[in-house]
Amino acid sequence: FRLALIQLHVSAVKSDNLQRACGLVREASAKGAKLVALPECFNSPYGTQYFKEYAEKIPGESTQKLSEIAKECSIYLIGGRSIPEEDGGKLYNTCAVFGPDGALLAKHRKVHLFDINVPGKIQFKESETLSPGNSFSMFDTPYCKVGLGICYDMRFAEMAQIYGQKGCQLLVYPGAFNMTTGPAHWELLQRGRAVDNQLYVATVSPARDENASYVAWGHSTVVNPWGEVIAKAGAEETVVYTDIDLKKLAEIRQQIPILSQKRCDLYGVEMKK
């Protein structure tokens, strides 16, 4: 099946972001994409100072529009981190997924908050305004089961292992790595998660805006179960297409059967919730 990643240029105007995102979703659907993903924070600038201002409930204005466009195009739509979600007085970094009938299939709240300090390069603390999610998020399609993470979640190998154990064959991480961590770890982490678990990994970033307060790395990418990069964007706004070959995935797992060779008598990773 064909996967499309929309690397959107994000502005400060929510309505413009929504309109442009929906236009690119229509374009991707017209080119045969069955699963389309939007980037982290596609509907607002990325930064702790923006989260409260742009927050919405789910369902709300933005997710209603995503539901409508998924139904119009008859696709599975991963809404990136469409919005900071407001719920019960707390804010979450949330990704909503809609099916071809417009129904909400999954809602992933970012589990691992991006609190880092690289001296002289970048300091960021999502926990100043956001609360963490407390659950894994998977959804089924006629093609395969998909596991969701958001950006910093990709650094935690245990999460990807759980998804693999639960039958996921594709992991999608809407993310916005920056100009320090992007060149160092963006592709490396994707290839690691893919080859460790013998599945496809897709990441979808906002396009780079050099004038933003937080500059995203871009380079939305798809990696196959062999650890090969099979599609990759540059820094500009674009749509990345790739065909997910589940036969190839099955062949790799048969040739190197690490999933059945794990020594569960010696070690294990388990899902607690």
CA–CA distance from 163 to each of 65, 214, 226, 227 (Å)? 29, 30, 17, 17
Q: How far apart are the first and last CA of the chain?
A: 31
Does residue 168 carry a catalytic annotation?
Answer: no
Which of the following is catalytic: 110, 126, 187, 237? 110
Distances (CA, A) of 238 to 38, 39, 98, 207, 208: 11, 11, 22, 8, 11
Active site residue 14: no
Q: Which of 22, 41, 95, 151 is catalytic?
A: 151
Q: Which residues pair with 203 in a beta bridge?
A: 173, 221
* 150, 174 contact by CB (below 8 A): yes
Spot the catalytic one: 40, 56, 85, 126: 40
- Rounded alpha-carbon distances, angstroms, from residue 56 to 63, 70, 120: 9, 19, 34
Strand partners, 106: 97
Using DSSP's 3-state secondary structure scheme, residue 250 falls into helix
Tell me whether residue 110 is one of the annotated catalytic residues: yes
- Helix or strand holding residue 252 (H, E): helix 246-255
Catalytic residues: 40, 110, 151
